[in-house]
């Protein structure tokens, strides 16, 4: 246990402080403390340490409690508990400000001074915004998908943060009410769950909730159903309907598909007859509205690494023969495909410098990058700008309330 005064906000949901300097050093070890807030003096239970820094959880506020501190409503996700609610102790109205600070500092620290100066020149001051629909409930009960693991006794839980121990859960306030109604944590599924099973609960917008146990999809204990669910997304009066594997990737926040389609289409501005290249396309969340926008005289070519996701995308594009979905790795060669507009939604690791360089030097008039990690986003955008691109907008939205994650949509021309 250590005592430390926290002075800043860091990436990955931590507040930052420093221990007193040791003899011969100008600065003490850095402390990354979950469940802390800047300005507080706290007691931290250390969970890991190396020569330069240590990590831990705040277990007591000793002095100067922050005005933005609230009681964490989910004890199992608090200090010493499971991951997934690192900002549960932060007043919800302040969480967007917390994430805005992380975004801006990361753009400067990782993207470099050249990117920071570029954003100043074009008049862009990034800010993370909260979804209005999340305000009444403080961002809780918004996830349509949760992942659980059965412990040695068959009890469902999650891994302790940065640990290998499964902690059984009694509640899951991150999930939408439809998931709670499945009764996973009340023992309703005990007859079919075995130690070590990976369990996913899914509450889609266009079909009934299901549970995926390992790879088997069930509507009730022992009752198997189709491996597919339906996601219906309405954006400004237009309906987009998707067939998605229950065990596959889909945005977890109930408002994320609608929000992201609106942001991406506004950033991409596709014209009738355009050639669009979509990288990391998944099951076609953006491919379908892009195909409608370019019309039969245009072309949409999407690439995705998961063959199963591509099968879903092809099903979702059957009414749009000018939109093609291909399985493949996104490489510089793939990124060099001629296009008027490029839309890329890479995994947390981002595009990578090589792919970003090719896109930046290509002929596309607009590039839209959807990022779920600010460090990878800063590196990718800095690379695109270094290749001569100009940032025209950065829209960031908190699609992961009460966690440190957020989504960023960047447009460049």
Rounded-to-integer distance, Cα 134 and Cα 140, Å: 8
Rounded-to-integer distance, Cα 199 and Cα 204, Å: 16
Rounded-to-integer distance, Cα 107 and Cα 325, Å: 33
Query: In degrees rounded to 5, what are phi and psi of residue 262?
Result: -60, -45
Number of domain units in the chain: 3
pTM score, whole prediction:
0.95
Query: In degrees rounded to 5, what are phi and psi of residue 237?
Result: 90, -10
Q: Which of 233, 266, 295 is the last residue of a domain?
A: 233
| 243 in any annotated domain | no
The answer to whether residues 255 and 284 belong to one domain is yes
| 121 in any annotated domain | yes
Q: What CATH number does the domain containing 394 carry?
A: 3.40.50.150
The answer to whether residues 313 and 389 belong to one domain is yes
Tell me the pLDDT tens digit for each residue of 117-172: 999 999 999 999 999 999 999 999 999 999 999 999 999 999 998 888 999 999 99
Q: Which of 202, 233, 264 is the last residue of a domain?
A: 233
Judged against a pLDDT cut of 80, whether residue 21 lies above it is answered with no
Q: Which of 31, 35, 77 has its CA nearest to residue 55?
A: 31
- Per the listing, tokens 């998707």 go with 242
Tell me the pLDDT tens digit for each residue of 298-322: 999 999 999 999 999 999 999 999 9
The answer to whether residues 307 and 338 belong to one domain is yes
Q: What CATH number does the domain containing 28 carry?
A: 2.40.50.140
> Would you state the pLDDT for residue 44?
96
The answer to whether residues 387 and 332 belong to one domain is yes
| 92 in any annotated domain | no
The answer to whether residues 109 and 53 belong to one domain is no
The answer to whether residues 337 and 284 belong to one domain is yes
| 42 in any annotated domain | yes
Over residues 216-226, the mean pLDDT reads 97
The answer to whether residues 328 and 263 belong to one domain is yes
| 197 in any annotated domain | yes
Q: Which residues contact 266 (CB under 8 A, 6 or more apart)?
A: 395
Query: Per-residue confidence at 348, pLDDT binned at 50, 70, 90?
Result: very high
> What is the overall mean pLDDT for the chain?
96
| 401 in any annotated domain | yes
- For residue 316, give its domain range: 97-134+251-412
The answer to whether residues 192 and 290 belong to one domain is no
Percent of the chain with pLDDT over 90: 95
| 191 in any annotated domain | yes
Q: Which of 205, 233, 261 is the last residue of a domain?
A: 233
Q: Which residues are catalytic?
A: 372
The answer to whether residues 128 and 149 belong to one domain is no
Instruction: Mark out the alpha helices in 30-111 (DSSP H runs).
Output: 92-109
């Amino acid at each position: 246990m250590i005592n430390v005064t926290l002075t800043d906000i860091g990436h990955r949901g931590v507040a930052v402080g420093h221990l007193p300097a040791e003899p011969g050093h100008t600065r003490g070890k850095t402390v990354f403390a979950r469940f802390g807030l800047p300005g507080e003096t706290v007691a931290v239970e250390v969970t890991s340490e190396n020569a330069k820094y240590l990590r831990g959880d705040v277990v007591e506020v000793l002095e100067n409690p922050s005005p933005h501190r609230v009681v964490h409503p989910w004890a199992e996700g608090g200090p010493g508990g499971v991951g997934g609610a690192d900002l549960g102790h932060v007043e919800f109205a302040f969480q967007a400000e917390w994430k805005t600070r992380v975004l801006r500092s990361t753009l400067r620290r990782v993207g470099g001074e050249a990117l920071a100066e570029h954003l100043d020149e074009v008049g862009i001051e990034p800010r993370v915004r909260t979804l209005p629909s999340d305000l009444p409930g403080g961002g809780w009960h918004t996830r349509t998908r949760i992942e659980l693991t059965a412990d040695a006794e068959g009890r469902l839980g999650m891994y302790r943060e940065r640990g290998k121990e499964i902690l059984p859960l009694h509640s899951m306030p991150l999930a939408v009410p439809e998931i709670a109604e499945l009764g996973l944590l009340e023992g309703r599924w005990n007859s079919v769950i075995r130690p070590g099973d990976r369990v996913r609960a899914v509450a889609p917008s266009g079909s009934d909730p299901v549970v995926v146990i390992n790879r088997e999809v069930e509507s009730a204990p022992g009752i198997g159903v189709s491996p597919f669910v339906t996601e219906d997304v309405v954006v400004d009066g237009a309906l987009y309907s998707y067939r998605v594997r229950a065990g596959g990737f889909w945005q977890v926040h109930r408002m994320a598909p609608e929000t992201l389609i609106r942001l991406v289409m506004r950033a991409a501005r596709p014209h009738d007859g355009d050639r669009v290249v979509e990288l990391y396309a998944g099951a076609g969340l953006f491919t379908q509205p892009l195909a409608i926008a370019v019309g039969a005289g245009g072309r949409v070519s999407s690439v995705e690494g998961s063959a199963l996701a591509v099968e879903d995308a092809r099903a979702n594009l059957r009414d749009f023969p000018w939109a093609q979905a291909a399985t493949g790795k996104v490489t510089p060669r793939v990124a060099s495909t001629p296009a008027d507009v490029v839309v890329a939604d890479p995994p947390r690791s981002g595009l990578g410098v090589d792919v970003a360089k090719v896109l930046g030097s290509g002929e596309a008039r607009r590039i839209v990058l959807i990022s779920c990690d600010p460090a990878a986003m800063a590196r990718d955008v800095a690379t695109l700008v270094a290749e001569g691109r100009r940032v025209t907008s950065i829209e960031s939205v908190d699609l992961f309330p009460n966690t440190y994650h957020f989504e960023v949509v960047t447009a460049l021309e």
